[in-house]
């Protein structure tokens, strides 16, 4: 597979489709220097983007959290995503909208006079964790922690918030792991580097309270599915010493979908029936 900068196809950029290799920005783009960028990760199944409107709404919300306004409505963003899929001949794909402060009159921390740019790229993408989707992912425990929400706009899906996630995932992969689990600034279990986390004990589900990290769309979807099945879901602060007592574990996210976890550090989990059922149910839902 060619690098992501060297492919055939079209990318939607600032209201029009351009050749994939021509979708470039200037080196003095504000987002490159000061992380003024937000994005979404979405999946299209059989020609339909799952929860497309919720993702477009969150993209605009994230931009507002970073003090800029995307110059397109939710409906226009939705239509642009479908236009991009059609232009690339894809019906099953990953969809990546991104918006950022571009190059302009300002080059410093302030960037009020710089234009807001937006692009949408789509590509074919299989299982985010490869065969872990069936066998259970192996997770490292990250040394970096999710920060205090008083220090970051944690409700935004903002590029800058993923810096410690990238470093944590690289460290995990160097150890032969698929990903890393992160604690928060207080020492409670938080999430993986790009996915939310769930645990099972005695037929009930426990998941960290999303008070300092992104409350994922897939996370909320899965909680709703569990509650509809009559499964008790506890959204709460989970201490590190509780990991030993959990029986099952899985990750959720647009890219991860529902991926079982077999190991976190020295703690092992079974790919049990509830994990298998919720993964299967989610797969049916997104293709309904």
Domains and CATH numbers, the chain: 10-123 (3.30.470.10), 132-286 (3.20.10.10)
Q: How far apart are CA 242 and CA 240, in angstroms?
A: 5
pLDDT tens profile 187-197: 999 999 999 99
pLDDT at site 134: 76
pLDDT at site 141: 98
Residue 33 reports pLDDT greater than 80 = yes
Active-site option among 10, 51, 138, 157 = 157
pLDDT at site 99: 98
Q: Answer for the pair 238, 264: CB distance below 8 angstroms, yes or no.
A: no
Q: How far apart are CA 15 and CA 117, in angstroms?
A: 10
pLDDT at site 126: 84
At residue 175 the predicted structure's pLDDT band, cuts being 50, 70 and 90, is very high
Q: What is the mean pLDDT of the chain?
A: 96
**Lowest mean pLDDT: which of 14-18, 55-59, 79-83, 129-133?**
129-133
Question: Tokens at residue 182, please?
Answer: 């992160």
Residue 131 reports pLDDT greater than 80 = no
Question: Tokens at residue 87, please?
Answer: 């232009």
Residue 132 reports pLDDT greater than 90 = no
What percent of the chain is modeled with pLDDT above 90?
Answer: 95
Dihedral sign of CA atoms 12, 14, 20, 25 in order: negative
pLDDT at site 49: 98
Q: How far apart are CA 261 and CA 237, in angstroms?
A: 20
Q: How far apart are CA 125 and CA 122, in angstroms?
A: 9
For residue 162, what is the DSSP state? G
In which region does residue 32 sit, left (phi positive, over 0), alpha (psi from -120 to 50) or beta (all else)?
alpha
Residue 51 annotated to the active site = no
pLDDT tens profile 206-263: 999 999 999 999 999 999 999 999 999 999 999 999 999 999 999 999 999 999 999 9
**Total number of residues shown for the chain:** 288
Q: Answer for the pair 259, 133: CB distance below 8 angstroms, yes or no.
A: yes
Q: Answer for the pair 88, 68: CB distance below 8 angstroms, yes or no.
A: no
- Region 141-162: what's the mean pLDDT? 97
Q: How far is CA 4 from the centre of its chain?
A: 18
Q: Is 247 exposed, middle or buried (0-12, 13-18, 19+ CB in 10 A)?
A: middle
pLDDT at site 135: 83
Residue 21 reports pLDDT greater than 90 = yes
pLDDT at site 133: 76
pLDDT at site 1: 66
pLDDT tens profile 59-98: 999 999 999 999 999 999 999 999 999 999 999 999 999 9
Q: Answer for the pair 258, 128: CB distance below 8 angstroms, yes or no.
A: no
Q: Answer for the pair 37, 100: CB distance below 8 angstroms, yes or no.
A: yes
Q: Answer for the pair 39, 98: CB distance below 8 angstroms, yes or no.
A: yes
């Amino acid at each position: 597979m060619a690098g992501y900068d060297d492919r055939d196809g079209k990318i939607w950029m600032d209201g029009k489709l351009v050749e994939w290799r021509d979708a470039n920005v200037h080196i003095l783009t504000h987002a490159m220097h000061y992380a003024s960028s937000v994005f979404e990760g979405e999946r299209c199944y059989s020609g339909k983007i799952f929860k497309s409107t919720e993702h477009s709404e969150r993209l605009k919300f994230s931009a507002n959290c970073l003090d800029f306004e995307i110059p397109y409505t939710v409906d226009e963003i939705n239509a642009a995503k479908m236009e991009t899929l059609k232009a690339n001949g894809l019906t099953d794909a990953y969809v990546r909208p991104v918006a950022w402060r571009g190059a302009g009159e300002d080059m410093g921390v302030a960037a009020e006079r710089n234009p807001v740019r937006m692009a949408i790229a789509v590509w074919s993408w299989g299982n985010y964790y490869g065969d872990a989707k069936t066998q259970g992912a192996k997770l490292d425990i990250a040394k970096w922690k999710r920060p205090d929400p008083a220090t970051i706009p944690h409700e935004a899906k903002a590029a800058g918030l993923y810096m410690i996630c990238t470093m944590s995932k690289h460290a995990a992969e160097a150890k032969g792991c698929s990903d890393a689990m992160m604690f928060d600034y207080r020492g409670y279990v938080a999430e993986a580097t790009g996915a939310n986390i769930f645990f099972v004990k005695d037929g009930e589900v426990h998941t960290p309270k999303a008070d300092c990290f992104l409350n994922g769309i897939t996370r909320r979807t899965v909680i709703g599915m569990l509650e509809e099945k009559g499964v008790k879901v506890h959204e709460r602060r989970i201490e590190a010493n509780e990991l030993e007592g959990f029986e099952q574990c899985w990750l959720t996210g647009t890219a991860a979908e529902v991926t079982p976890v077999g190991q976190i550090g020295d703690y092992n989990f079974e790919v049990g029936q509830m994990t298998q059922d919720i993964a299967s149910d989610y797969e049916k839902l997104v293709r309904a």
